[in-house]
Every structure is written in C-alpha cells, then in structure tokens.
Amino acid sequence: MDGRVSDRFASVIAAFGLTVAGLTVAGLTVALPAWANGAAGAGDLTPLPAAAWHEGHAAHLLERAGFGGTPEEVERLAALGLEGAVRRLVYFDGVPDEAVMPEFDHSGVFDPGLDPFPPSRPATTEAAKANGEALGIKVKPGGNRPIQPVVNAFFYWLRASRLETDRVAQWWAGRMLATPRPLREKAALFWHGHFATNEDKVRDYRKMLRQVELFQEHGLGDFHALLVAVAKDPAMLAFLDAGINVKGSPNENFAREIMELFTMGPGNYTETDIREGARAFTGWNFRGTEFAFNAEDHDEGEKSFLGRTGALDGEDVIAVIMEQDATARFVAARLYRYFVRDELDPGLADALGTRLRELDFEIAPFLAMLFSSRDFYSPASVATRIKGPVELVVSTYRKLGLAELPGVPDFNVVTGVLGQHLLHPPTVAGWSHGRSWVTPGLLFERGNFVLDVVFPDIAFVPPDRYPAYGQQILAVHERLRSGMDITAATMPAGVDTGEDAMAASNLLADRDEAFNTRYGSYRGWQMAIERVKPIPRHTARLDLAGMVRGAGLATPREVVDYLAGRFLSVPLDEGTAAGLADLLSGELGTDDVETAATWLEDPLRVLLHALLSLPEYQLG
C-alpha cells in the first residue's frame, strides 16, 4: 500500500481522536473499567481507546479482517496494539515484501478456435451447419454424425473451463489460508459476492481468473476505479449480456444491475434511467479476455440520466452514479454488513455513507476506520455474524495451523454443499449472507465437514476426475464399452419407455441425427480430464496431541476450555463444557491427559468434531 493512503489513515485517526477528546462523554469512558469499554459502543464510530485493547479484540479483528488464526497469531497481533494491529491487517505494515503468494498455474486447456464461444449447443451446431465449421473444427464430409467432432469440442470446453475454474477456486482458497495479507483475499471475496459473476454463464475460466485478480489487486483501493474496471471486465460483460448491448437495441441487464446491486439499491432511479444508462454502455464489449469498445455499436446520441443530459458514455454514467448520496450509503452499508454486522439503522447507514465519501471512496481507510471503532468491538458486533461457508472452511484450517489447503475433502464440493461454490454465485445478487447461510440441513453439513477433516473419508472420489455427479455420463460409458452403438448407449436410463409415460424432456434429448449430444457430453469429459491438471489430494495432517501437550493441559476440562478458546468466538456455557469434557474423558479412559499421552490424538479428534459441530461454532 502506498504512503499516500497510509498518511490519510493517520490523519483520519487523528481527526476522530480530536473529536472524541472534545466530548465530555469520552473523558468518562476512559475512566470506566476495561470491560465496560467493550460493553457499550454499538453505533459509535469513534476509535476504541488504545488502553481498552486486549487479546479478545485481536482475535475478533483477525476473524473479521481475515480468516482467524492460531493463538500465536492472535498473540502477536495483540502485541501490536490497536493501531498497529489495524495497520498490519489493512495496510500490511511490517509484512515482508517477499511474502508474495504464488500465481495461478494454468493447465493449458484453451485453444484459439474456442473463442468466441457460442451461447449454446444448438447455436454451435447451427453455426456448424451454416458455415461448415465451428469452434475451429470442420464438419466431416460424410459418414455418420458429421457434426460430432464439433459437439465434442463444445462439451470439452464446458467441462474443461468448469474444472479449471475449480482449480482457480482451489488456488484462491490456498491463498486465503496461507497469506500474510488476509484482508486482501477477504476483500476480494467480498467483491466477488458484490459483483457476482458465475462461470456457468461466462464459460471461460480465464475471464473468471482475471476478475478474481482484479479484486485481489484493487479490492482495497478506490471504489470508483474498481467500478469502472468491473464495468469493463470481460467476465462481467459476458455475464450481464453487455456484449450484445448495441446502438438501436440497448440491453438493459448491465445498466439495471449496476444501479440496483452494485451502487445505489432499488428506489433511487427510474426505469427511464435504466434505459438511458443502457444506451450509454452500448458498444462496450470484450474480445477474448480484454475489454473492447466497438465505436460503431455505440449510441452517440443525447441521453438523460439521473438529471444529467448530454452525449453520455459509460464512464460518464458511472461518474454520475458516484455523485449520488445513495451510492455512498449503499456501498458503505454493504461493507459494514459484511465486515461488522448484519443490522444497522438508517442513521448509522447515513453516517457511514458520509465517512466513505469523505474518504473519497478509498476502501482501505474506510475499513481501518471500522476496525478501529468502538462499534466494531461492541457486544452487538462481536461473535454475532454467521460465518459464510468459505470463511468457515478456511478459518477452520487456519485455526488448526495448516499451511496448505487439503485436497480431501474437496474444497469446492464442501463449500458448494454448504452453499458457496466460489465463482458460481447463485444469482447476480451474489450470496445472501447472515442467517440464510444456515438451515437445518446445512447445520448438519457444517459438522460433517469437520468429521471429514479429522477422520478423512476413505471412499473419497476426486470430483475433478470421476464424474461423480454425472450418472448419465457413466451410464453411456458402460454401455459403449459393452458394445452398444451410440444411439442405444445414449438412450435415457431407467425410464419406462411407453409413449405416454415417457416424459417430454426424454423424448427431446436425441432427435438430431447429425450429432449425438449425450455422446458429446461423455467424450467432452474424457477430453477435459486429459488436459486439466489434477488437484493434489492430500488429507489434512493434524497433530492435535502436539497442540494440546504444547499448551500444557492436564485435564479433559482444561482441554475443552483451551480448544473452545482457540476455535469459538463465544464462551461455552458450563453445561456444554462439562458435557464435552465427559465425552473426552470417556474416549481417553482417564481424567489425566499425561497418562493418555500415547493415545491422545483420536480422542481429541472426536472431541474436536463434537465441539465444532455446535451451533456456536458458526458464529464469528
């Protein structure tokens, strides 16, 4: 982070400090005991007094500005004091320059003919019929299924891009786990949810990767610049159909979402603003992984947008959006909800908007302000946030002290089951946070994830090799190898084939004889796994016995208290702690930890599974 922003941070702190010093109330607060400083303060954006800072605050800060950490990391952060800890996490003060994280390692799955990729399989085969080739592959002059190689290539890229995107997610999660700059990744994760883009529609892992790198690089910088960069980002352009937004027939998708979801929120603009805004963005397109402005598609005419009239282009529209009060309030509230807590009243939202505007929409100093505030350390904020799936998984690994992301369980499967498959947000609105992360089914799954970490599933099947979720592909595979022809091998399985009982979707599946979709789907999978590099599949290497013995714990109850303190953000109640101590005691066969030194590991794993299955573990 450059000096300019750091200096601004110092002056912001100084300015707030002066304000506080001028108030009688602040003088009184300092006189109160340390615990009372934390008890009040909800909604108070003035800084926590330096004297009130303690290790619990450091743990909370590391949880929110990163993905939590080991007791040793928390201790080191606490030793820096409030300002030092915030500067360390927000501006990376004192983080060695050489601590850079590895770049993504491409498998090399892309072929030039795949770009531009048609919007659908029918569009691909229509193009092949019309032009005699598609995706860089020519139609066969004769023989059965002359378009089949094109269809195979279509499915190859669908599979390969998807699998490679999972490798991007795996790489990103590895950075979240190992980075000494966790806020960079946490902010990127926030922006990924804010500017949600899904590979299912983009169908190009290169664009997805580029977007993640944009968030990593600029996620703590100037929001205006970030917004322009996102508006020109090929993944976003592809996702919101901006690429087909042309003069004479504006497509409103991007113009609508940029106002509704990215900047202002509903109710602050009209349908006319959306139509006029869409005109301003006409001609914004992409070529491969680069932004491209097609001047001949751009509507040069006069537009009237949020009270401004002129020959506006996309950047003008963004500049107008940035001037709206609603934008500062909306973006500040989104950041607040993610990093502090779900509930905020309109008065606080206004105050936050004003702060963000005063800071020229610079994200880092805004977050530093939040992370320094009494509000952030008040009971209303501490341990009241339900961790998202990615945070849950990454912070579990961090608190276990792992340096590398395990390949078993599969990161993408686990987070997908828990509702947050990276680079596949469910809609353009991103993930709904807070309570929606946890349902009865998902609460079980969160505990099941912990079981899979402490006692790995030996029946694990790598989903990037074996089409575990593609029963149809497997059925085709088996039948082809048993000697069936392609038509017979690709008949839908397990269906009563009587005319009336057979569902319409099954009748439809295989009607074009120029090619066979199901065969293409099968062959595409084979072609993809040949070229996509496998994800390494080591399990988590744990040493809970070493952890517990290193902490010098003597009794089951001490072990429970230690692990609860290490992993949970809320104190355990007496009854639960006692019940868990009984569980450990039973597994150990003794109440003396030292006696059990040589068989400590498995009982500790049983205990950890129970502890991290508690509803309380979901809070951060």
Site string for another protein, 262-281 (x = CB under 8 A): ----x----x--x-------
Q: Restricting to residues 496-525, which ones interact with another protein according to CB under 8 A?
A: 496, 500-509
Strand 308-310 vs strand 137-138: parallel, antiparallel, or unpaired? unpaired
Q: Give the per-residue contact string, 287-316, with another protein (x = CB under 8 A; - = no).
A: ------------------------------
Beta bridge partners of 138: 133
DSSP result, 99-111: -PPPPP-------
Smallest distance from another protein to CB 523, Å: 20
168 vs 382 by CB, closer to another protein:
382
Let me know: does 585 contact 595? Beta carbons within 8 Å.
no
Q: Helix (H, G, I), strand (E, B), or coil: what is residue 189? A: helix
Q: Determine the interface stretch with another protein among 162-170, 290-298, 326-334, 606-614 (rule: CB under 8 A).
A: 606-614
Site for another protein in 522-561 (CB under 8 A): none
Shortest CB 410 distance to another protein, Å? 15
Tokens of 577: 């702690």
Please report the DSSP string for 283-335 in residue order: TEEEETTEEEE-GGGS--S-EEETTEEES--HHHHHHHHHH-HHHHHHHHHHH
CA 451 centroid distance within chain: 23
Over the window 447 to 466, marking each residue x when it contacts another protein by CB under 8 A and - when it does not, the resulting string is: xx--x---------------
Reply yes or no: is the peptide bond before residue 615 cis, omega within 30 of 0: no
Q: Which two tokens stand for residue 390?
A: 């990615």
Among 30, 50, 225, 495, binds another protein (CB under 8 A): 495
* Contact region with another protein (CB under 8 A), list: 146-154, 212-220, 490-498, 541-549: 490-498
Best CA proximity match to 583, nearest among 607, 566, 600, 618 = 607
Contacting another protein within 198-237 (CB under 8 A): none
Contacts of another protein in 116-145 (CB under 8 A): 119-120, 122-123
Nearer to another protein, 47 or 520 (CB): 520
At its nearest, how many Å lie between another protein and the CB of residue 389? 11
Q: Give, as one character, the DSSP assignment of residue 345.
A: -
Task: Tell me how far, at minimum, the Cβ of 173 lies from another protein, in Å.
Answer: 20
Give the binding range for another protein (CB under 8 A) out of 25-33, 59-67, 256-264, 390-398: 256-264
Scan residues 160-189 and list those touching another protein (CB under 8 A): none
Q: CA–CA separation, 414 vs 393, rounded Å?
A: 8
Q: How far, in Å, CA of 325 to CA of 596, rounded?
A: 63
- The minimum distance between CB 148 and another protein, in angstroms, equals 19
Q: Are 43 and 375 in contact (CB under 8 A)?
A: yes
- Asked if 435 interacts with another protein (CB under 8 A), we say yes
Q: 423 near 170, Cβ under 8 Å?
A: no
Nearest 5°: phi and psi at 249? -145, 70
432 binds another protein (CB under 8 A): yes
Residues 562-591 that bind another protein (CB under 8 A): 570, 572-573, 575-576, 579-580, 582-583, 586-587
Q: Decide whether 185 or 410 has the Cβ nearer to another protein.
A: 410
Asked whether position 253 contacts another protein by CB under 8 A, the answer is yes
User: Which phi and psi (to 5°) does residue 560 adopt?
Assistant: -60, -45
User: Taking Cα atoms as reference points, which of 50, 38, 123 lies closest to residue 85?
Assistant: 50
Q: From CA 254, how far away is CA 277, in angstroms rounded? A: 9
Q: Any contact of residue 468 with another protein (CB under 8 A)?
A: no
DSSP string covering 225-262, please? HHHHHHHT-HHHHHHTTGGG-BTTB---HHHHHIIIII
Span of 15-23, 177-185, 242-250, 362-370 interacting with another protein by CB under 8 A: 242-250
Closest distance between another protein and the C-beta of residue 262, in Å? 13
Q: Which stretch binds another protein (CB under 8 A): 140-148, 176-184, 284-292, 445-453?
A: 445-453
The residue ranges of DSSP E strands in 17-150, in sequence order, are 133-134, 137-138
Give the interface size with another protein as a residue count (CB under 8 A). Answer: 79
Nearer to another protein, 82 or 255 (CB): 255
Scan residues 56-95 and list those touching another protein (CB under 8 A): none
CA dihedral 440, 442, 447, 453 (to 10 degrees): 170
> Could you say whether residue 609 binds another protein (CB under 8 A)?
yes
Residues 364-393 that bind another protein (CB under 8 A): 379, 383-386
* Residue 610 in the binding site for another protein (CB under 8 A): yes
Give the pairing type, strands 133-134 and 137-138: antiparallel
Binding-site member from 426, 456, 470, 565 for another protein (CB under 8 A): 426
SS3 462: coil
260 lies in the binding site for another protein (CB under 8 A): yes
Longest dimension (CA), the chain: 90
- The stretch near another protein (CB under 8 A) out of 98-106, 154-162, 253-261, 473-481 is 253-261
Part of the chain binding another protein (CB under 8 A), chosen from 67-75, 93-101, 436-444, 548-556: 436-444
Q: Answer yes or no whether residue 439 interacts with another protein by CB under 8 A.
A: yes
Closest CA to 532 of 195, 223, 160: 160
Residue 141 has φ and ψ, to the nearest 5°, of -70, -25
27 versus 122: smaller Cβ distance to another protein: 122
Smallest separation, CB 87 to another protein (Å)? 29
